[in-house]
Amino acid sequence: MTFLNAIFRNLFSRPATRRYPFVKREPFPGTRGQLAIDPDRCIYCGICAKRCPANAITVSKTPSKSWTLDNYRCVICGYCVEVCPKKCLTMKQDYFSPK
């Protein structure tokens, strides 16, 4: 009898899962998806690269100014966002997906 109850309950109730990727769940507040930089505010001081525990950031001042992130090394800890003196790093809520 318990078995029949479970069958009828599941026949007439909403599914417990979403039809991903057609229906996506809204991210929770504070979700850490991927790192983003505002290059116009960056002074290329290199603090983020020095503090990154995964060595995912490379900053160069010479010969040309560059800031690069290795998404495959980044562990999304958010430490670089905290230490950046210009506050030009942010954590986006959408996840990194390779192109």
The residues in 2-41 that bind ligand SF4, with binding defined as CB under 6 A, are 35, 37
CB of 46 to ligand SF4, least distance (A): 5
Secondary structure (H, E, C), 29-72? CCCCCEEEECCCCCCCCCHHHHHCCCCCEEEECCCCCEEEECCC
With CB under 6 A as the contact rule, which of the stretches 1-9, 11-19, 21-29, 75-83 interacts with ligand SF4? 75-83
User: Which residue in 45, 90, 95, 98 binds ligand SF4 (CB under 6 A)?
Assistant: 45
